[in-house]
Amino acid sequence: MSTRGMWLAAVWGVSGLAAPPLAGQTTITGTAAGLVLNVRTRSDAGTALGFGGTVRFRRLELQVRYAEGTLQPSDRQSVGRDLVEGAVALRFAATPWLSMQLGPHARHYDSPLGPERWVTWELGGRAEVAIAGTQVRGHAMLWRGMGLEVNVPPGSGSARGGEVGLTIDPGARPFWFALAYGIDQAQVRDAARRETVETLTFSAGLWRRLDLRALRSPVLRPPLLAQLRHGGADLVRDLPLLPERRDHRLRLLGMELERARLRDGLIE
Amino acid sequence: MSVRVVALALLLAAHAPAPVRAQNGSASEVMTGAVRAYRDLDFDGAARLLRRVLTPPLATGLDDADRARALTYLGAAEHYRERPDSAIAVFRRLVFLAPRHRPDTLIFPPEITRLYDAVRSSTRVVAVRLQADTEFSVGGKLVAWLYPSTPHDVTVAISGEDGHALRTLYAGPIGDSLDVRWDGRNSSGSLATGDRLWLTVASPGSRQVRVPLQVDVSAPDTLLHAPPLSNLLPEHAGRSTGLRSLGGAALLAAGALTLPSLVAPGERASGTRFAVAGALSVSGVVGYLSQRAGRPLPENAAINQTRRDAWRRQDDAVTRENAERMRAARVRIRAGSAVVLDPLGNNP
Average pLDDT, chain B: 84
Predicted pLDDT of residue A26: 74
Predicted pLDDT of residue A83: 94
- The answer to whether A180 and B276 have CB atoms below 8 angstroms apart is yes
Over residues A227-246, the mean pLDDT reads 45
Residue B12 has pLDDT above 70, yes or no: no
Task: Verify whether the Cβ–Cβ distance A140 to B252 is below 8 Å.
Answer: yes
* Residue A212 or residue A90, greater confidence: A90
- As a whole number of Å, the end-to-end CA separation of chain A is 89
At residue B343 the predicted structure's pLDDT band, cuts being 50, 70 and 90, is low
Predicted pLDDT of residue A22: 44
Average pLDDT, chain A: 79
Cβ-Cβ contacts under 8 Å, A23 against chain B = 226, 310-311, 313-314
Residue A31 has pLDDT above 90, yes or no: yes
Cβ-Cβ contacts under 8 Å, A24 against chain B = 306, 309-311, 313-314
Strand partners for B256:
none
Over residues B134-156, the mean pLDDT reads 87
Over residues A87-92, the mean pLDDT reads 96
- As a whole number of Å, the end-to-end CA separation of chain B is 51
At residue B293 the predicted structure's pLDDT band, cuts being 50, 70 and 90, is confident
Nearest neighbour of B314 by CB, restricted to A24, A134, A179 = A24
Cβ–Cβ contact B286 with A under 8 A? yes
Residue B203 has pLDDT above 70, yes or no: yes
Contacts of A245 (CB under 8 A, 6+ apart): A239
Residue A177 has pLDDT above 90, yes or no: yes
Over residues A215-221, the mean pLDDT reads 54
Chain A, 201 to 260: residues with Cβ < 8 Å from chain B are: none
Predicted pLDDT of residue A244: 54
Q: 3-state class of A109 per DSSP?
A: strand
Report the gap between the CA of A254 and the closest CA in chain B (Å): 40
Task: Verify whether the Cβ–Cβ distance A134 to B270 is below 8 Å.
Answer: no
Opening angle at CA B180, ends B177 and B181, nearest 5: 150
Give the span between the Cα atoms of A185 and B266, in whole angstroms: 11
Q: Would you kindly state where each structural domain of chain A is located, as residue ranges?
A: 3-213, 217-267
Predicted pLDDT of residue A215: 63
Over residues B175-199, the mean pLDDT reads 84
Task: Verify whether the Cβ–Cβ distance B272 to A198 is below 8 Å.
Answer: yes
Predicted pLDDT of residue A191: 66
Cβ–Cβ contact B311 with A under 8 A? yes
Cβ–Cβ contact A14 with B under 8 A? no
What b-and-e string marks burial along B251-260, b requiring 16 or more CB atoms within 10 Å of the CB?
Answer: bbbebbbebb
Q: What is the pLDDT of residues B32-71, one digit of tens each?
A: 999 999 998 899 999 999 999 898 888 887 888 889 999 9
Predicted pLDDT of residue A250: 60
User: CA gyration radius for chain A?
Assistant: 28
Q: What is the pLDDT of residues B302-330, one digit of tens each?
A: 888 988 998 999 889 988 888 887 777 78
Phi and psi for B206 in degrees, rounded to 5? -135, -160
The fold of the A3-213 domain, in CATH, is Lipocalin (2.40.128)
Three-state SS letters, B249-310? HHHHHHHHHHHHHHHCCCCCCCCHHHHHHHHHHHHHHHHHHHCCCCCECHHHHHHHHHHHHH
Task: Verify whether the Cβ–Cβ distance B310 to A42 is below 8 Å.
Answer: no
Give the span between the Cα atoms of B166 and B188, in whole angstroms: 9
Helix crossing, B27-39 with B43-53: angle to 10°?
160
**Residue B211 DSSP code:** E
Answer whether the bond into residue B57 is a cis peptide, omega within 30°: yes
Residue B261 has pLDDT above 60, yes or no: yes
Over residues A151-180, the mean pLDDT reads 89
At residue A218 the predicted structure's pLDDT band, cuts being 50, 70 and 90, is low
Over residues B216-233, the mean pLDDT reads 81
Residue B348 has pLDDT above 70, yes or no: no
Predicted pLDDT of residue A267: 60
Q: What is the pLDDT of residues B71-111, one digit of tens each?
A: 999 999 999 999 999 999 999 989 888 888 889 888 898 99
